Amino acid sequence: MQKRRVQIVGATGYGGLGMLELLLGHPQLEPVALIARDDAGRRIDEVYPHLTGRCALVVQPPDAATIGADCDVVVFATPDRVSVEYAAALADARVRFIDYSGDFRFRDPADYAQYARAHPSIAETAHPLAALLGRAVYGVPELFGEQVASAPIVGNPGCFAIGMILGLAPLFADRLVADGTVTVDGLTGSSGAGKKPSPSQHFSHLNDNVVPYRVFTHQHVVEAQQTLARLSGGHAELHFVPHLLGTTRGILSTMHAALARPMPRDALLERYREFYAGHPFVRVLDSPPTLKGTLGSNYCDISLVTSADQRRVVVISSIDNLLKGQSGNALQNLNLMLGLDPRLGLDRPPLYP
């Protein structure tokens, strides 16, 4: 069987690299073009020597004539407002694509504007290609897999957002969250900020340190709230405090909520297992998950604890921010878009220790 051809735009960042690493082990997909502004003209195994003997494609500079040519699908592993530069031409040529940024996570221009107002690097809140938003699907495969399979455009979720959404989806679907309000503490490794260095990511600052940032203002809250409200048909309000850890990978989200009615822990755990039955990358555990439990994998591990009076719940989810939080989830979506088993290229255990 001939392999499907995948082009990666933003191939030399962590997100593009993650997709490339996964594709090199995929039985039915192959990377055919690597495109990036940084390191254009160099072989990818010169940029990342750990790929020696695995891939020697030369990084090409971005060009409108190149992006979308001679491939079955394009992956934009790029920041906000990059994919929109090429999206109209791709749509006209009927080339499907998946985007890591927030450019196509929202079908309503007003919802996108809310996200853009919360994003520190977006100056203009109006979407430049609002007419295309209606063709896009928000890429949480456990919730919207059928829509993803037929979508011409998929907006891959933000890393914090997917950990919160998967952790809370059963509660919101069953309308079990009192007032729709949840307090969330998020812990993330430094790779979530991307490849380009900043003072806050210096080793001497992050090592042995925990740094709260963007308290109540993180842009991923917008998509998480909208998705959870969509599930419940009501209101969702997340009070989110992210923290940067002196680690490389992983996101641990601890979510606190009052229950709309008393529920025992065992009944809630059973409901979670029913909700995620048939979804191989969500594991519902008896004990609280840890960062190490999902390291290097596409799993989302979830568990919960209820208070003695069964009126409060703490839900904890763990993901690898570069896999289930980014390239792994994107490949899961890509498999669905191309009619493949969603586990292909991803069915591997976490790394330990």
Q: Cβ distance 313 to 171 under 8 Å? A: yes
pLDDT of residue 202: 81
| 55: Cα within 13 Å, side-chain hemisphere | 25
Question: Domain 160-321 class?
Answer: alpha beta
11, 137, 174, 338 from 15: Cα distances, Å = 7, 20, 34, 20
Which of the following is catalytic: 55, 71, 159, 300?
A: 159
Sequence-distant (6+) residues with CB within 8 A of 215 are 241, 242
Sequence-distant (6+) residues with CB within 8 A of 250 are 187, 188, 189, 291, 292, 294, 295, 318, 319, 320, 321
CA–CA gap between residue 21 and residue 222 (Å, rounded): 30
Q: What are the start and end residues of each CATH 3.30.360.10 domain in the chain?
A: 160-321
Output the DSSP codes for 33-58. EEE-STTTTSBHHHHSGGGTTT--PB
Is position 55 annotated as part of the catalytic site? Answer: no
Output the DSSP codes for 134-166. GGEEE--HHHHHHHHHH-SEEEPPPHHHHHHHH
CA–CA gap between residue 327 and residue 211 (Å, rounded): 25
pLDDT tens digits for range 166-222 = 999 999 999 999 999 999 999 999 998 787 777 778 888 888 899 999 999 999 999
Q: What are the start and end residues of each CATH 3.40.50.720 domain in the chain?
A: 4-157+325-337
SS3 at position 256: strand
180, 322, 347 from 173: Cα distances, Å = 11, 27, 28
CA–CA gap between residue 96 and residue 278 (Å, rounded): 26
Give first-to-last CA distance, the chain, whole Å. 37
pLDDT of residue 199: 78
Residue pLDDT tens, the chain, 353 long = 799 999 999 999 999 999 999 999 999 999 999 999 999 999 999 999 999 999 999 999 999 999 999 999 999 999 999 999 999 999 999 999 999 999 999 999 999 999 999 999 999 899 999 999 999 999 999 999 999 999 999 999 999 999 999 999 999 999 999 999 999 999 999 998 787 777 778 888 888 899 999 999 999 999 999 999 999 999 999 999 999 999 999 999 999 999 999 999 999 999 999 999 999 999 999 999 999 999 999 999 999 999 999 999 999 999 999 999 999 999 999 999 999 999 999 999 999 99
Q: Which amino acid is at 254?
A: T
Output the DSSP codes for 68-128. TTT-SEEEE---TTSTHHHHHHHHHTT-EEEESSGGGS-SSHHHHHHHHHH-TT----S-T
Q: How far is CA 313 from the centre of its chain?
A: 25
For the packed helices 159-173 and 220-232, what is the interaxial angle rounded to 10 degrees? 20
According to CATH, the topology of domain 4-157+325-337 is Rossmann fold (3.40.50)
